Structure 1
Amino acid sequence: MSISHGSAERLVVIGGDAAGMSAASQARRLKGPGELEIVAFERGHFSSFSACGIPYWVGGAVAARDELIARTPEEHRARAIDLRMRTEVTEIDVAGGRVRARDVDSGAESWTSYDKLVIATGARPIRPDLPGVDAPGVHGVQTLDDGQALLDTLTGVPARRAVVVGAGYIGVEMAEALIARGYEVTVVNRGSEPMATLDPDMGRLVHRAMEGLSITMVNDAEVTKILTGEDGGVRAVGTEAAEFPADVVVLGIGVRPETTLARAAGLPLGEHGGLLTDLAMRVRGHRNIWAGGDCVEVLDLVSGRERHIALGTHANKHGQVIGTNAGGGYATFPGVVGTAVSKVCDLEIARTGLREKDARRAGLQYVTVTIESTSRAGYYPGAAPMTVKMLAERRTGRLLGVQIVGREGAAKRVDIAAVALTARMTVEEMTSLDLGYAPPFSPVWDPVLVAARKAVTAVRDGPG
């Protein structure tokens, strides 16, 4: 259904962060206000902010909250985007081509019609249904409001014990932030090793390094309750086996796609709960509705399966594609290979492509190799150890995945593998890559290429 608003079409955007405002901004570049009216709704206090930067703001590496804001509401409005803050969309009427929105502060509701709709509702943190989880001192970290609330707690609490629940990216990054602020940090993790995005043998390296940084790691432990004191505030985190004293608790369990509106509107969702789109980021079966960012599932180019990956890099690319298409152009988002990097203090962690269990789930047979190397020529000052694990498909030798754990200079080496995965290179083809070399930057054989050479041998020596 198309609705006329004078001579201009109306584009409605739900969500004022990376994907939504990238889409709005790109559409505005292509069409002026006389051709396309743009209305965007954001339920929070901030637009176009970097959620990925929150741990570094909390830890003090980023001095001020506003440094994490790429573009303010006023800046968006100056570009003829009607961004309505503190306004939450509560219903999508697909048949009627309209959305219902509620002013968060006043409660007033109204309908807004659209010709084109962008859903960029993001993801919501997993908050387990546990006794005490809503007690003062228990924090999730998803928005700038969340980060400010955590900082207020940290500056207002005289004691110095923190428990982080979960050991994924958010968990380890928040552990670093709390260490930087002088807290005694315990990380409680339900998995066998931290960083479930790595294989357990690589996660074990992260475990050892975190303990070397005076972080107490508790693995194979399910949090069952959060205990509170007489004042109602948090005092400990409990598992079946133990209690861990805490003056502050940070939940770093992960996120799920925020698709409550989409589900209620009958839009198609995948097995991970994310919206399903075509290559143009158009919601499947709906010509005038697009979706992007953390609320969608994306194609994994290595496994051929749909995945949910909540990363700002993808969200911004989705927004560019959506805005181009909504603005009358043409663009596609072909998929991802699953690249991510993180750090905890001076330990760098990187992965791309498939883990062993991903390869098995996809029905692929594979070989693995693990090598130890250094970030620079061994004789050059500052050379630091690095471990690289590589997966290659049996028989064909196609690269399937790479994981890297090391010190300075380790993490961004994963980009070599990300490009190789996208190009569907074999490990033998990788050994001939013309990578930059000088002793301050790399050994003669870069660690990724050393792993590729070893993988070539494993492929050749393996069964046909």
Structure 2
Amino acid sequence: MSTRPFVIVGGDAAGLSAASKCKREEPDRDVIVFEKGNWISYAHCGLPYFIGGVVDSLSDLLSLSPTQVRERGIDLRRNHEVIAVNPAEQTVTVRCEKTTFEQPFGDLLIGTGARPVSGPFDLSTLDGVFTVHGIDSAAAIDAYLSDPEAYDESTLGEGPVDRDQITHNRQFSSPHTAAIVGGGYVGVEMAEALIERGLDVHLFQRSGHILPPFGDSIAAVVEPHLRSKGVHVHTNTPVTRLVGDDDGRVSGVQTASETIDAQLVIVGVGIRPNTDLLSETEISIGEGSAIRTDEYGRTSLQNIYAAGDVATSTHTVTGEETWVPLGLTANRAGRAIGTTVAGTETSVGEIAGTAVLKAFDLECGRTGIIDKDDARNHGFDPISATITAGSRSGYYPGNSETTVTLVCDQQTERLLGGAIVGSDRAAVRINTIATALQADRTVSDVEQLDLAYAPPFSPVWDPILVAAKVLNGKL
């Protein structure tokens, strides 16, 4: 057992999972968590649902309170920013208010997550322009959306909300038109949230389809559905400039062909790993500018680990390095690293990039490799099939169309990936495909899966089985 502390940078999914697991396995080990801000252990994926009014209070998004963390024996220090790492001395430099100090470590976990990127825009010059990243951003957007005379502060709950942001953003008259730049996960979820808040919503995507990770077949179903709900979907339409009024408030967005009015702009064009604190080290950087890690979460520097949105993973289909920042990946890797640090070497596991998304009445899911060019770049010879089948027996109430795309390698018949969309429990079906990927199953194997059947739940031939049968026929 090391006599030096296990130091963790970042108090969210990966960091606190590692801290909790290590402390449970090795109770006498000092475990210190440095968190740059006030918030810890919250559900980032729940932010659009708070803004849309589905979640009543910001407090509902919190998994662990600081008190609960300390009750586990973890030394949690909020508002402590780690600004540098010295691998040779095995210390980190920590800044707290106006002072800095050196903290020794025996093992170090970098769990600093990622930050939103702004593309070509300077987001600091206009009021009413936001990214959706962090509790305070969600609270600020909610305040900005609300009628200044009717704003309900009780929705903020008991957490350490940035009150200055709330005071500033609640002073504005409620916006009536919103522009969302970026048609990915955040863009689609925020389109639904803002429609629920009564806004006229424009969604801009620079490429030919929204939701690029889900593939064209899914986008072809989702785009008309968004339009039917009142969202103005603009594909092949990059936003070139944000327009402001004389008071410094955003008033619209400009494209190559027109300027569209908007008193609220959400920028959701991607994220970038937070690796600045390691800029003076020789740590190896990999896919997506994330920290390169091995199967145990170890970096290229001795006794230093990385997990979550700041770290790479191994893709279960290609066996190669990838960067797919998702919640389960962070929690699972953190827990495994905590176990390893405590003395039992544990793999962080491979990933398939499995993700689900709600778009009004539709549920979308994806896993593995869907894009054929991507598959070819990894040495595969891809072929795909897309089918639409019922979600239940045709005579049973609630049956609805479910579209499934499966992709496989023509030479080995190995399943490479899949995507799904529908309104009746479509998302959860993606787990069947993800399981098949991690088991290296072929299309024939999937076609032979013994999936459950009963009229209220599925037709005799589940949509995934239908897709496998059609793809197998093409082979």
TM range (shorter): over 0.9
Q: CA deviation at 1:132?
A: 5.7
Is residue 316 of structure 2 the alignment partner of residue 321 of structure 1? Answer: no
- Alignment partner for residue 31 of structure 1, among 15, 26, 32? 26
| Aligned ranges 1:211-290 → 2 under 5 Å | 211-284=227-300, 286-290=301-305
Residues 279-324 of structure 1 deviation map (CA, whole Å, 9 limit, x = unaligned): 111113x331111000011111112222111111100001111100
Aligned length: 449
Aligned partners of 2:237 and 2:66: how far apart in 1? 43
Aligned partners of 1:264 and 1:58: how far apart in 2? 39
Paired letter, 2:340: N
Contact 1:10 1:114 in 2 (8 A): yes
Q: CA deviation at 1:204?
A: 2.1
Contact 2:387 2:404 in 1 (8 A): yes
- Show structure 1 runs of 5+ residues with no match: 460-464
Residues 115-146 of structure 1 deviation map (CA, whole Å, 9 limit, x = unaligned): 11000010111112325664111111111111
Q: Which residue of 2 aligns with 1:18?
A: 13
Aligned partners of 1:457 and 1:211: how far apart in 2? 35
Aligned partners of 1:447 and 1:262: how far apart in 2? 47
| Aligned ranges 1:329-348 → 2 under 5 Å | 329-348=344-363
Contact 2:125 2:248 in 1 (8 A): no
Q: Give the 3-state SS of the residue equivalent to 1:272 in structure 2.
A: helix
Aligned partners of 1:46 and 1:76: how far apart in 2? 12
Q: Which residue of 2 aligns with 1:209?
A: 225
Paired letter, 2:40: S
| Aligned ranges 1:104-253 → 2 under 5 Å | 106-130=97-121, 134-155=125-146, 156=170, 157-253=173-269
Q: Which residue of 2 aligns with 1:462?
A: none
Paired letter, 2:320: R
- For residues 230 and 340 of structure 1, do their structure 2 counterparts lie closer, same or farther at Cα, with a shift above 3 Å needed? same
Paired letter, 2:213: T
Aligned partners of 1:368 and 1:338: how far apart in 2? 18
Percent of aligned pairs with the same residue? 37
Q: CA deviation at 1:161?
A: 0.9
Is residue 439 of structure 2 the alignment partner of residue 423 of structure 1? Answer: yes
Aligned partners of 2:304 and 2:347: how far apart in 1? 15
Aligned partners of 1:404 and 1:133: how far apart in 2? 38
Aligned partners of 2:425 and 2:17: how far apart in 1? 31
Paired letter, 2:305: W
Paired letter, 2:83: T
Aligned partners of 1:360 and 1:208: how far apart in 2? 30
Q: Which residue of 2 aligns with 1:357?
A: 373
Paired letter, 2:14: A
Q: CA deviation at 1:238?
A: 1.2
Contact 2:407 2:418 in 1 (8 A): yes
Q: CA deviation at 1:239?
A: 1.6
Query: Which has the larger displacement, 124-133 or 440-449?
Result: 124-133
Q: CA deviation at 1:375?
A: 1.3
Q: CA deviation at 1:434?
A: 1.2
- TM-score where L is the length of structure 2: 0.92
Contact 1:120 1:293 in 2 (8 A): yes
Query: Which has the larger displacement, 47-56 or 252-261?
Result: 252-261
Q: Give the 3-state SS of the residue equivalent to 2:247 in structure 1.
A: coil
Q: Give the 3-state SS of the residue equivalent to 1:380 in structure 2.
A: coil
- For residues 55 and 132 of structure 1, do their structure 2 counterparts lie closer, same or farther at Cα, with a shift above 3 Å needed? closer
Is residue 409 of structure 2 the alignment partner of residue 393 of structure 1? Answer: yes
- TM-score where L is the length of structure 1: 0.94
